[in-house]
Amino acid sequence: QDYYGKELQKSEDLKTNTCITSACHLPKVVRDALERVHEEVVARYYGCGLVVPECLSSCRILDLGSGSGRDCFVLSQLVGEQGHVTGIDMTEGQVRHRSGAPPHPPSSPPTSFPSSCQVEVAKKHIAYHMDKFGYPKPNVEFFHGYMEKLGDAGLDDESYDIVISNCVINLAPDKRAVLQEAFRVLKPGGEMYFSDIYASQRLSETVRKHRVLWGECLAGALYWRDLYSIAEEVGFSSPCLVTASPITIGNKELEGIVGDCRFVSATFRLFKVPGGSRARPGQVIYNGGIMGHEQELVFDANFTFK
Q: Where along the chain do its domains lie?
A: 28-93+115-305
- Classify domain 28-93+115-305 at the CATH topology level: Rossmann fold (3.40.50)
The residues, any chain, with a CB within 8 Å of residue 111's CB and separated by 6 or more, are: none
Question: DSSP alpha helices (H): ranges in the chain?
Answer: 2, 28-35, 39-43, 70-79, 118-124, 126-133, 175-185, 205-208, 211-215, 224-234, 252-258
Contact 135, 81 (CB under 8 A): yes
Q: Which pLDDT does position 115 carry in this prediction? A: 46
Angle between helices 70-79 and 28-35 (to 10 degrees): 120
**Tens-binned pLDDT, residue by residue, of the chain (306 aa):** 565 555 555 555 555 555 555 545 678 888 899 999 999 998 877 777 668 999 999 999 999 999 889 999 999 999 999 999 999 998 865 333 333 333 333 333 333 444 457 788 899 999 999 999 999 999 999 999 999 999 999 999 999 999 999 989 999 999 999 999 999 999 999 999 999 999 999 999 999 998 888 888 899 999 999 999 999 999 999 999 999 999 888 888 888 898 899 999 999 999 999 876 666 788 889 999 988 888 999 999 999 999
Contact 195, 50 (CB under 8 A): yes
Contact 21, 51 (CB under 8 A): no
Q: Is-above-0.75 flag for pTM? A: yes
